[in-house]
Structure 1
Amino acid sequence: MAMDEVVDRVSALAENLLTPQGMELVDIEYKREGRHMVLRLFVDRDGGITLDDCALVSRELSEILDVEDFISENYTLEVSSPGLNRPLKKESDYERYRGRLVKVKTFELVADEAGNPRKTFLGDLGGLVDGVVILNLREGQIARIPFDKIAKANLEFEF
Structure 2
Amino acid sequence: MNEAIEQQIASMVEPLVRENGLELVNVEYLKEGAHWYLRLYIDKDGGVDMDDCSTISHIVSEMLDQKNPIPQAYMLEVSSPGLERPLKKEEDFVRFQGSLVNVHTTSQFQGYKKFSGNLVGLINDEIVLEYNDERVAIPRTLVKKTHLALDF
TM-score > 0.5, shorter chain as reference = yes
- Residue equivalent to 1:134: 128
Cα distance in 2 for residues equivalent to 1:3 and 1:134: 29
Is 1:48 aligned with 2:47?
yes
> Gaps (5+ residues) in structure 2?
none
How do 1:1-159 residues align onto structure 2 when only pairs under 5 Å count?
A: 2-111=1-110, 117-137=111-131, 139-159=132-152
Q: Which runs of 4+ in 1 moved over 4 A?
A: none
DSSP-derived class of the 1:29 partner:
strand
DSSP-derived class of the 2:90 partner:
coil
Instruction: Pick which of 29-38 and 139-148 moved more.
Output: 139-148
Query: Which deviations, in whole Å up to 9, do the C-alpha atoms of 1:55-87 show, x marking residues without a partner?
Result: 100001001111112322111100000000001
DSSP-derived class of the 1:10 partner:
helix
TM-score (norm: length of structure 1): 0.87
CA drift of 1:40 comes to: 0.7
The letter for the 2-side match of 1:136 is E
CA drift of 1:153 comes to: 0.9
Structure 1 pair 119/70, CA: closer, same or farther in 2 (3 Å)? closer
> Gaps (5+ residues) in structure 1?
112-116
Q: Which has the larger radius of gyration?
A: 1
CA RMSD of aligned residues (A): 1.5
DSSP-derived class of the 1:49 partner:
coil
The letter for the 2-side match of 1:130 is N
Corresponding residue pairs, total: 152
